[in-house]
Amino acid sequence: MKVGVVGLGAMGAGIAQLCVEAGLETVGREVTAELGEKARGRIEHFLTRKVEKGQIEAFDIGLLSLTTEVADLADCDVVIEAIVEEPAAKQALFVELERVCRADAVLATNTSALSVTEIASATSSPQRIVGMHFFNPAPLMPLVEIVRAELTEDAAFDAAFALGEQLGKHPIRCHDTPGFVVNRVLIPLLNDCVRVLDEARVSPEDLDAGMQHGAGWPMGPCTLLDLVGIDVHLHASEALYDKLREPRMAAPPRLVAMRNAGLLGRKSGRGFYSYDKT
């Protein structure tokens, strides 16, 4: 099997890493050769660390080829899109993928908040488009949501599920609804947690301890938000609110203020907690 990954940012590089680790021929497409090389360096670094830790025996970075041309994905069996979360950009890409890829190739989107059905609607072959929502960081998180859009056919849906298993993930099946499964539950729940911070006048440390020791969470909500990124959470929260208009989906003012101040969590060095960026 040959897999294409479009977009080698944090998510796309993680997905490409999984493909290489599974021994699959992989084509990674980035907008510039420099960005592609940086991604390959990160992938090689993380896989080397896994070998050093004894988690895997070996890997072949030669399985990953890089390109800046969508046309170089023409002979892939599955192409996974992991570009910016903007509907117009994704639709334009899928129109291009439909033009260059084989008729039997499965085209998947890694969107976390957009409608797979709407993305597929821009093409003339929506039956082969499916959602494959990996969680960040993709190499570590076991789950992948396999999302059936309104016109997805069984062949594409089953192929995406099988690929998820081949990559060592735990795939679950669902239909295309706002937030799919996990984010539909988790995003309003995290928003509730942030509102409780102010209403109960509890510290982030105590809120995290409460949810870990009282509800059995493996990680507290403030720590989790810092890990995901305040801006990433807000983007998904706003997308869900636009679709559903449920008050719990609306972004809490505290998170909006944090984003506006650049307090994005681990990646900026400060969110609910402070982090050493060195």
Q: Where are the alpha helices (DSSP H) in the chain?
A: 10-21, 33-52, 87-100, 116-120, 154-166, 182-199, 204-215, 221-228, 230-244, 253-260
What does the block give as tokens for 268? 């900026």
Contacts of 179 (CB under 8 A, 6+ apart): 113, 185, 187, 236, 240
- Mapping DSSP onto H, E and C, the string for 193-240 reads HHHHHHHCCCCHHHHHHHHHHHHCCCCCHHHHHHHHCHHHHHHHHHHH
What does the block give as tokens for 173? 């099946």
Cα(102)–Cα(139) distance, integer angstroms: 28
**Which of 30, 81, 112, 191 is labelled catalytic?**
112
Q: Which residue has the tokens 């735990």?
A: 170
Residue 81: closest CA among 114, 104, 59: 114
Our answer to whether residue 81 is catalytic in this structure is no
Q: Would strands 143-148 and 129-134 be described as parallel, antiparallel, or unpaired? A: antiparallel
Cα(177)–Cα(96) distance, integer angstroms: 25
Contact present, 104 and 93 (Cβ < 8 Å): no
**Which of 183, 191, 237, 268 is labelled catalytic?**
183
Our answer to whether residue 145 is catalytic in this structure is yes
Cα(220)–Cα(19) distance, integer angstroms: 31
Our answer to whether residue 45 is catalytic in this structure is no
Our answer to whether residue 133 is catalytic in this structure is yes
Residue 79: closest CA among 99, 62, 60, 61: 99
The helix or strand, by DSSP H or E, that contains position 82, with its residue range, turns out to be: none
**Which of 98, 110, 145, 237 is labelled catalytic?**
145
Which sequence positions are flagged as catalytic? 112, 133, 145, 183
